[in-house]
């Protein structure tokens, strides 16, 4: 039986070779990389962003640009760092001009994320931004409780997954604090909730 690392590497290889992806031509044109995910594959906490930005596509690493610096600060605020969690995105390749992922993009890449969740089996799924929030809430049949991220950020929704009870925690995207520094205390407060839940 394959271990988690081997199963995640298989996903990486499939995405690398996914010539039928709606974003494959864009990746080749710009000579960049898909961003699969990184961190502790045995972590209780999995962060899911929306799609890679320019820095992420250039390096193949999630949240390594300006938003990543904010994410690092937020993790440090609760006494954690990247090696303690697993970080990925819903869409694995960068959409052109940093546009929002299209429904076609999401339909193609979501099955890879679904497999990552099944492999890692996190107890807490923290979504970063409205697009990944909507996808995860739909996946776990939470759409009746769906609202704007401004209203449900920092909420905790308990759902039954194929492997255990999972807590879904919608969070603002770290870029929120780049565009509006006054939001940082709010993001920190939401992250404090993750620290509490991780210790339960």
pLDDT in tens, 50-60: 999 999 999 99
pLDDT at 197: 60
pLDDT at 199: 61
Looking at CATH, the fold of the domain delimited by 4-198 is given as: Uracil-DNA Glycosylase, subunit E (3.40.470)
pLDDT at 1: 65
pLDDT in tens, 62-94: 999 999 999 999 999 999 999 999 999 999 999
Mean of all residue pLDDT scores within the chain: 94
Going from N- to C-terminal start, the domains of the chain cover 4-198
Nearest CA to 186 out of 168, 171, 169, 167 is that of 171
Whole-structure pTM value: 0.95
User: How far is it, in rounded angstroms, from Cα 148 to Cα 130?
Assistant: 8
* DSSP per residue, 93-150: SPPGGGPPPPHHHHHHHHHHHHHHHHHH--SEEEEESHHHHHHHHHHTT-GGG---HH
pLDDT at 127: 98
Q: Are 61 and 37 in contact (CB under 8 A)?
A: no
- Residue 53 three-state SS: coil
pLDDT at 2: 77
- Taking 80 as the threshold, does the pLDDT of residue 196 lie above it? no
pLDDT in tens, 154-173: 999 999 999 999 999 999 99
């Amino acid at each position: 039986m394959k271990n988690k690392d081997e199963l995640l590497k298989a996903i990486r290889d499939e995405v690398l070779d996914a010539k039928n992806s709606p974003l494959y031509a864009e990746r080749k044109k710009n000579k960049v990389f898909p961003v699969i995910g990184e961190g502790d594959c045995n972590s209780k906490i999995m962060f899911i962003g929306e799609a890679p930005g320019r820095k992420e596509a250039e390096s193949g690493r999630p949240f390594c640009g300006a938003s990543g610096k904010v994410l690092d600060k937020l993790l440090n605020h609760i006494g954690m760092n990247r090696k303690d969690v697993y970080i990925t995105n819903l869409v694995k390749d960068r959409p052109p001009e940093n546009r929002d992922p299209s429904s076609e993009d999401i339909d193609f890449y979501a099955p890879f994320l679904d497999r990552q969740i099944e492999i890692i089996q996190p107890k807490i799924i923290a979504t970063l931004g409205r697009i990944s929030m909507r996808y995860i809430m739909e996946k776990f049949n939470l759409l009746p409780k769906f609202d704007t991220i401004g209203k449900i950020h920092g909420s905790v929704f308990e759902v039954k997954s194929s492997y255990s009870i999972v807590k879904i925690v919608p969070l603002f995207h770290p870029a929120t604090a780049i565009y509006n520094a006054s939001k940082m205390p709010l993001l920190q407060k939401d992250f404090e909730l993750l620290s509490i839940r991780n210790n339960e």
